[in-house]
């Protein structure tokens, strides 16, 4: 029975679940909600976008790419720079935007205690 349960749990973690590519960056110069909305609007306009997340408080911006789609780090940075901001740390992660948003929210709550 344990083997069956383990097998079922592992089968739920298909390769597609690990194929998620998200570009995550710290953005400098984002100081108001209008700034965050402007960046989010630019990211949402990208045809490769599956989902986008912008958090003003933590200055985190994330762009989850559609399966089989890509945006170079340079192109991503250019979108942010063209909106009037600079990119700090930039990384590619195998997380969904929802997971990143949950992490940011959890960190903000922990920091507020």
Query: In this model, does residue 11 exceed pLDDT 80?
Result: no
In Å, the largest CA–CA distance within the chain is 57
- The pLDDT > 70 percentage for the chain reads 82
Query: Whole-number mean pLDDT of the chain?
Result: 87
Three-class SS state of 99: helix
Residue 63 has pLDDT above 50, yes or no: yes
Looking at the whole model, is its pTM more than 0.95? no
Q: Report d(CA 65, CA 36) in Å as an integer.
A: 19
Distance of CA 17 to the CA centre of its chain: 15
3-state secondary structure of 61: strand
pLDDT at 14: 46
Per-residue model confidence as pLDDT tens digits over 69-113: 999 999 999 999 998 999 999 999 999 999 999 999 999 899 875
């Amino acid at each position: 029975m344990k083997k069956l349960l383990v097998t079922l749990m592992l089968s739920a973690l298909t390769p597609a679940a690990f194929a998620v590519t998200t570009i995550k960056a710290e953005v400098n110069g984002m100081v108001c909600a209008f700034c965050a909305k402007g960046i989010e609007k630019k990211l949402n306009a990208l045809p490769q976008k599956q989902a986008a997340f912008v958090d003003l408080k933590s200055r985190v911006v994330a762009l989850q790419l559609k399966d089989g789609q890509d945006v170079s780090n340079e192109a991503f940075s250019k979108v942010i720079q063209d909106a009037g901001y600079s990119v700090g740390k930039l990384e590619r992660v195998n997380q969904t935007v929802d997971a990143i948003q949950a992490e940011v929210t959890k960190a903000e709550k922990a920091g507020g205690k």
